[in-house]
Amino acid sequence: MPVIATAGHVDHGKSALVRALTGIEPDRYREERERGLTLDLGFAHTTTSDGVVLDLVDVPGHVDYLRTMIAGMAEASIALLVVDAREGMREQTREHLLVIESLGVSTGVVAISRVDLVDGERLREVRDDIVARLRTSSVTWSAVVDTSATEGIGIAELSDELARAVEACAHAGNERNLMPARLFIDRSFTVAGRGTVVTGTLGAGALAIGDELIHARTGARTQVRGLQRHGNDIQMMTSGGRIAVNLTDIAVNDLARGDALIAPGSWHETDVADVAVQLAANATLGTGRGLTAHIGSARIPVNLRPVGGDSGIEHQWHRCRFESPLPLVPGDRCVLRRTGDGEVVGSFTVNDVHPVARPSLAQPDGTFDEQLRHHGWVTVARAAMLTGRVVEPHVAGMVAAQSVVNKTRAALLQQLVVGEVDLATLSPVERELIQQTKGVTVEHGRARTAQHDAALDSPLLRRLREEGLSTSAIDAADRQVLSRLVRLGAVVGHDDVYFHHEVIESLRPSLEALWSARPDGFTVAELRDALGITRKHALPLVNCLDHLGLTKRVGDHRVRGRATHT
């Protein structure tokens, strides 16, 4: 289920509302409870009367803990913005709102707290100010809910509003369920009898008991021993919810907040990415140095350099270099802060996790084609890592940008202008692509652009197919047609013995059987005996097989040729 994270100025009653909603104390440390000040992330949950689970992360409101607030909000689907009725929107309220918008959180619920301590006029004034400020927000906000945690005012209404937001997010679906697993850790500890446990909001994919994971920072492998949600053991969890993961073969001292656990071989870990920056009002990047990026629970120093020339200036495209690698996909959003004073200057969206083009030529517009344009033909798995999308193969299990597809097809058509193309000489991608190209005819293992050739309907061709491997001599009257059939690739021959191309192709299983029995290759005699033919036909046959690349002569033996390796 979607996670809700609180937001708002220090001492505006966020933790008190969480307690009133759930009955759980979110302040986990004695110091927090004694001081009445949230210092770290707190966690609570409840189930409404309608059966909707409210999964809450309580964040600190003090300016000194903004990085902790960002870690709690980063993977949340819903923001609960809390504003004290006496003080109204304050500095941290506005900064938290900027963080919410920068992270791309789409849904928000607004609660005015401590309404029992103000009169009606003050309450209207605060509400009007909130509504005016949120009118231009990128977040879809609920109607403002008046609350008092101590008096129980509005708690049921707030619960209902949060439940509606949760159900709306759940019904909207989550494309990240289709991605491989990625969990940014916000806590790590040990449990007696179980060992290492980490918690976090599962930002992508799904986790199940027995799954293998990689600790991205060190490359250490671990396995999911157990899963818990809200203290209950579960077998599997999809993205978007809070989760506790019991891990094998990794020490708690080797883990830290901000570390990522990822599905093996499924994420591109990068220290450079092309991004689109969104600056806060009146903010600048300066030299692009001295900045910190926050993603998930991680924070990492970065440098930014403009790319893309005039287009880049218009779209605020930059090349971002991270101090250390992170597992990223296009679409990931990061909050940007100045490292010196901690001020939020904006955010960026990752558009390309593996930029290849020179900065002046880069065009990181976030499109599928641009993300793959400089990588040629790649596997479906690699394309998914580079684009962050579920990818269907174009041909032969491979994917490419449309410009690469067009270039490959144009090269093939250029070959066809010169003459026929033997499919055995092509790569699997080229072979499948040429067969899908409009206006190209493929027969007998050869591709051509010409219309159907009359020679292909000749009785001679039908006779050679029917005779199989024991073909008879060719009459003088058929020599001209025979020459045409050889040029078309429909017939192959050696020493005046000819075979139909389809007959030759049908031998592949027999060849494989011979190589299984004789890995070092077979002789002409062994081929003759296996096929039950005479030496008269066996010797020309192996020469035809050599010519077509089905076999290769090594001494007196025939080993696999190029056409059996592709």
Query: Domain holding 111: CATH number?
Result: 3.40.50.300
- Counted domains in the chain: 5
Provide the domain limits for residue 164. 3-173
Burial class (CB within 10 angstroms; exposed 0-12, middle 13-18, buried 19+) of 520: exposed
**How high is the pLDDT of residue 239?**
86
Q: How do beta strands 107-113 and 78-84 pair?
A: parallel
**How high is the pLDDT of residue 332?**
93
246, 262, 278 - which closes a domain: 262
Whole-angstrom Cα distance, residue 491 to residue 482? 8
**CATH number (domain holding residue 546):** 1.10.10.10
366, 384, 405 - which closes a domain: 366
> Of 167, 163, 135, 267, whose CA–CA distance to 213 is shortest?
267
State whether 472 and 416 are in the same domain. no
Residues 202/176, Cβ–Cβ less than 8 Å: no
Q: Phi and psi dihedrals of 397, rounded to 5? A: 75, 15
**How high is the pLDDT of residue 66?**
80
State whether 43 and 82 are in the same domain. yes
> Of 150, 140, 227, whose CA–CA distance to 183 is shortest?
227
Give, in order, the Cα–Cα distances in Å from 185 to each of 189, 199, 202, 228, 258: 11, 6, 9, 15, 6
Residues 364/274, Cβ–Cβ less than 8 Å: yes
Contact residues for 436 (Cβ-Cβ < 8 A; gap 6+):
395
Whole-angstrom Cα distance, residue 441 to residue 421? 11
Give, in order, the Cα–Cα distances in Å from 460 to each of 465, 475, 484, 544, 547: 9, 10, 11, 19, 22
State whether 53 and 165 are in the same domain. yes
pLDDT in tens, the chain (566 residues): 789 999 999 888 888 999 999 998 876 656 656 556 565 788 889 999 889 999 998 887 666 668 888 888 888 899 999 999 999 999 889 999 999 999 889 899 999 999 999 999 999 999 999 999 999 999 999 989 999 999 999 999 999 999 999 988 877 656 777 889 999 998 899 999 889 999 999 989 999 999 999 999 999 999 999 999 888 899 999 888 889 999 999 999 999 999 999 999 999 999 999 999 999 888 899 899 999 999 988 999 999 999 999 889 999 999 999 999 999 999 999 999 999 888 899 999 999 999 999 999 999 999 999 999 999 999 999 999 999 988 889 898 999 999 999 999 888 887 886 677 889 899 999 999 998 888 788 877 888 876 667 778 788 999 999 999 999 999 988 898 899 888 888 899 999 999 999 999 999 999 999 999 999 999 999 999 999 999 999 999 999 999 998 999 999 999 998 887 65
State whether 126 and 57 are in the same domain. yes
State whether 15 and 163 are in the same domain. yes
State whether 476 and 385 are in the same domain. no
State whether 165 and 257 are in the same domain. no
Residues 348/278, Cβ–Cβ less than 8 Å: yes
- Helix, strand or coil, per DSSP, at residue 345: strand
State whether 222 and 181 are in the same domain. yes
Whole-angstrom Cα distance, residue 492 to residue 499? 6
Whole-angstrom Cα distance, residue 4 to residue 6? 7
Q: What pTM did the predictor assign?
A: 0.76
> Of 269, 270, 273, 253, whose CA–CA distance to 261 is shortest?
269
**How high is the pLDDT of residue 31?**
61
